[in-house]
Amino acid sequence: MNIQEILNWRYTTKEFDSSKKIAPEKEAAIKALLRMSPSSINSQPWHFIIANTEEGKKRLAKGTEGFFSFNEAKVLKASHVVLFCAKTEISDDFLEHVTNIEDKDGRFAKEEFKQQNLGAKKIFTNIHRYDLKDTKHWLEKQVYLNIGNFLLGVATLGIDAVPMEGIDMKALDEEFGLREKGYTAVVMVGLGYRSESDFNANLPKSRLPKEEIFTEI
């Protein structure tokens, strides 16, 4: 795997070929990318709604009505669509839940290590709750870490993707009852295979020059 070739191959797909579908055997890898993403204190403050049927995509497309209609075709023509959702709050009970799962998975050799880890989780969470007062923003940051990891990951599978922030978050929250479950919609990512008529497919990539963004010390 040549990472530079993959980085140059992937791009924000503007038009999918609706006749091409992601093979079922790749779905496990897609879910693994979502599940195994890093997050601060291993908080994993996310939930994912994955649409791989026409009916499912139509439900997600409700978030592209009205002002956001420019994204409707990207949802409906995609093979799969993932709605990334973030927790709206993070409770001590949830932190204990995460820690208990870590313990079950064998991450702590002693009970005292588990309690130390849980204490550290609570300390860093309280910094965002009470000192910085940016808990929701912090939780969304973890979801964006996942999205970045996901976009590169699906490219290694030869799958095209388009992240969409231009969506009606409230409409999607209502469609799936997310707020009642303690979540809110953040970003949708369409997955599939580029259409030959996608204008963005053959445009050269453009990035700031190396001299402007790197300082080597």
Which residues are tagged catalytic? Answer: 14, 74, 165
DSSP 127: I
Residues contacting residue 108 through CB under 8 Å, at least 6 positions apart? 102, 114, 117
37-60 burial by CB neighbour count: b if 16+ within 10 A, else e? bebbbebbbbbbbbbbeeeebebb
The residue assigned the tokens 């949802």 is: 75
Among all chains, which residue has been given the structure tokens 């601060």?
Answer: 40
Picking from 98, 100, 53, 97, the residue whose alpha carbon sits closest to that of residue 75 is 53
How far apart CA 22 and CA 51 sit, in angstroms, is 12
Helix (H/G/I), strand (E/B), else coil: 181: helix
Cα(52)–Cα(24) distance, integer angstroms: 10
Q: How buried is residue 174: exposed, middle or buried, by Cβ count under 10 Å (0-12/13-18/19+)?
A: middle
